[in-house]
Structure formats: C-alpha cells, structure tokens
A = this chain, B = another copy of it.
C-alpha cells in the first residue's frame, strides 16, 4: 500500500468533469460554496468527517454553513466522486472515489489510524459467496479493526 499523495491534475480534471456532467444533467448550479467545498474535498487526503471538512472550508470562506457541507457531500456522493464511510464512531466520513479503484479499510482501535487495503482474492470470494446464495452483489462493507504496530509498541 502506497502512502497517499496529493491527487494529480489529470485525475482531478476527470473527477471535476464527472461532477459537472452530473450537475448539468440535473439542472444544478455551480456556486462559490460548492466550488469551495468540492475543491477542499478533492485536495484533501484521507477520510474526513463533515466537521473536519467544514473546518477546512471555513479557512477559505468562514461564512459557509455546515448544512451546505452536508448538502454538497451528498451531491459528491450522488455523482460518484465521493464514498461515504462509517467506521463505527457515529460520524460519516468521506473519501475520493477514484475511477476503477476499490479498497477496504484497516482501522486502529487506539489511535484511529486508517489504512487502505485491496485484496483480489477476497473480492472474488465475496462474489462467489453472493452467487451461492442467489444474490447479485451490489456493494459491500469490509472493515478490519485492530491495534496498529505503533500503538502495540506504546502500550
């Protein structure tokens, strides 16, 4: 698993294109607030909560309300450029949905660190399991909770 780097311009363009197409198709408007929230989201890394996103957004425009952040992230999710995640702490977190990429998560129960993983074999087994039960698989959630090496060393 490589470290998360800031997103390259090509990918950024691709995601923005996806958003603008979606907005056009649905008669939605490009506003300063939406541009700010979207830009903050796309340039951030990790798995951010609404609260964290709002703080970043307000660095640029302190007048933006949290309802706007909620509404904009719903939009980003609906157009397919954001994934909404739930790691059991009661808040929704958002991360960029890269095209043709999928991963699941390892979460440290002590420090909250989130590590992404991909495993082709598990994906295949999931498909097979679903098929065996007559299900057409649409999506899944798969989170591994444990204690990371750093935390194990500290305690």
Show the binding face of A for B, using Cβ within 8 Å: 1, 86, 88, 106, 108-109, 115, 117, 119, 121-122, 125-126, 129-130, 133-149, 152
Would A129 and B106 count as touching, CB distance under 8 A? Answer: yes
User: Which chain B residues lie closer than 8 Å to A115 at the CB level?
Assistant: 133, 135
Minimum CB–CB distance from A84 to chain B (whole Å) comes to: 10
Closest Cβ neighbor of A126 among chain B residues:
B144
Measured in the bound complex, the distance between the Cα atoms of B88 and A149 in whole Å is: 30
Measured in the bound complex, the distance between the Cα atoms of B108 and A144 in whole Å is: 22
Would A143 and B140 count as touching, CB distance under 8 A? Answer: yes
Closest Cβ neighbor of A108 among chain B residues:
B135
Known A86-B86, A129-B117, A130-B106: A142·B142 in contact at CB below 8 Å: yes
Measured in the bound complex, the distance between the Cα atoms of B1 and A137 in whole Å is: 18
Known A142-B140, A146-B138: A125·B119 in contact at CB below 8 Å: yes
Measured in the bound complex, the distance between the Cα atoms of B125 and A136 in whole Å is: 23
30 A–B contacts from the bound complex (CB under 8 Å): A86-B86, A86-B88, A88-B141, A106-B130, A106-B133, A106-B135, A108-B135, A115-B133, A117-B133, A119-B125, A119-B129, A121-B121, A122-B122, A130-B144, A133-B148, A134-B148, A134-B149, A135-B144, A135-B146, A135-B148, A136-B146, A136-B147, A137-B144, A137-B145, A140-B142, A140-B143, A140-B145, A141-B143, A141-B145, A142-B143
